[in-house]
C-alpha cells in the first residue's frame, strides 16, 4: 500500500482494521515482557489504536508513529484528557496523557528520542506493508532499539498472500526478516476474530547495539 492509499483510507473511513477495544493478544501476552512500568513503548504505524491507551493505563509512556493526521486527530478527540501540540523536526506531535503521537513517515523517525525505548508493540504495522517494505521495516525497527528491548508482534496469514492489507506474513518470513536482530519466541497460533490465522511473537533485541542487517 502506498502512502496516498493509506491516507485515502482514513479520509474515506475505510478502517476496518481498527478495533474499538484492546487486542486480546496484547492483554494475554504483554506481561511476558516484564518491562518496567516506566519503560517507553514504541507503537509503529499506530493509527488511533486503543491498544495505546491500554498500555498507558499500565504506566507506560507510549510513543506512536502514524502517517495520517486524521488518525491522530481522531485518537485525541476520542480521549478525555487535554492535548499539547508541538513539532519535532519534520513531525507534527501531540501529547495526551502518557501517549505521545508523532505524525509522519515511520522510516524518517530516528535519533535521540529512540534511546529511551524499552519496548515496542506491533499489531498492524508489519502486516500493513507490502513485501519490499517489510524488509526495510524490520531493518529500521532494529536500528531504533537497544539490546534487551522487547516487544510483541502480531502477524496474520491467509490464502491471498500478497493481497492486502492486511498482508499475509508467514512464520518463515518473520524468521527471515527478524531473526538476525531479534530473539524470537512464538507465543501463540490461533484464529483471529476475522477467521484469519494469527501468530503472536515475543521479540528481544539482540546485542551489540544497533548492528542490524542491511535493509
pLDDT digit string, tens, across residues 88-133: 999 999 999 999 999 999 999 986 555 689 999 999 999 999 999 9
Bigger pLDDT: 19 vs 39? 39
In degrees rounded to 5, what are phi and psi of residue 105? -80, 120
Tell me the domains of the chain and their CATH numbers.
23-205 (3.40.50.150)
Nearest CA among 90, 103, 128, 132 for reference residue 9: 128
Peptide bond into 2 cis (omega under 30): no
List, for residues 144-177, the tens digit of each pLDDT value.
Answer: 999 999 999 999 998 876 676 889 999 999 999 9
199 touches 168 (CB < 8 A): no
Rounded CA-CA distance 64/77 in Å is: 16
Let me know if 10 is exposed, middle or buried by CB neighbors in 10 A (0-12, 13-18, 19+).
buried
Summary mean pLDDT of the chain: 89
| Cβ contacts of 152 within 8 Å, gap of 6 or more | 25, 26, 29, 30, 32, 33, 120, 121, 122, 123, 187, 200, 201, 202, 203
* 140 φψ region: left (φ > 0), alpha (ψ -120 to 50), beta (else): alpha
55-70 mean pLDDT:
96
User: Coil, strand, or helix at residue 82?
Assistant: coil
Amino acid at each position: 500500500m502506498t502512502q496516498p492509499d493509506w491516507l485515502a483510507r482514513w479520509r474515506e473511513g475505510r478502517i476496518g482494521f481498527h478495533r474499538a477495544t484492546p487486542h486480546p493478544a496484547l492483554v494475554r501476552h504483554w506481561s511476558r515482557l516484564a518491562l518496567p512500568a516506566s519503560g517507553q513503548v514504541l507503537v509503529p504505524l499506530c493509527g488511533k489504536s486503543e491498544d495505546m491507551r491500554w498500555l498507558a493505563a499500565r504506566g507506560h509512556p507510549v510513543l506512536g508513529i502514524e502517517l495520517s493526521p486524521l488518525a491522530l486527530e481522531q485518537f485525541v478527540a476520542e480521549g478525555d484528557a487535554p492535548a499539547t501540540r508541538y513539532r519535532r523536526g519534520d513531525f507534527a506531535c501531540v501529547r495526551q496523557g502518557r501517549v505521545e503521537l508523532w505524525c509522519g513517515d515511520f522510516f524518517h523517525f530516528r535519533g535521540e528520542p529512540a534511546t529511551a525505548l524499552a519496548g515496542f508493540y506491533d499489531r498492524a504495522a508489519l502486516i500493513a506493508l507490502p513485501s519490499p517494505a517489510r524488509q526495510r521495516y524490520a531493518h529500521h525497527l532494529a536500528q531504533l532499539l537497544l539490546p534487551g528491548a522487547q516487544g510483541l508482534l502480531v502477524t496474520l496469514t491467509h490464502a491471498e498472500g500478497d493481497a492486502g492489507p492486511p498482508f499475509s506474513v508467514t512464520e518463515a518470513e518473520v524468521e527471515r526478516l527478524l531473526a538476525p536482530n531479534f530473539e524470537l519466541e512464538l507465543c501463540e497460533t490461533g484464529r483471529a476474530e476475522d477467521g484469519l490465522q494469527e501468530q503472536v511473537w515475543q521479540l528481544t533485541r539482540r546485542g551489540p547495539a544497533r548492528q542490524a542487517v542491511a535493509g
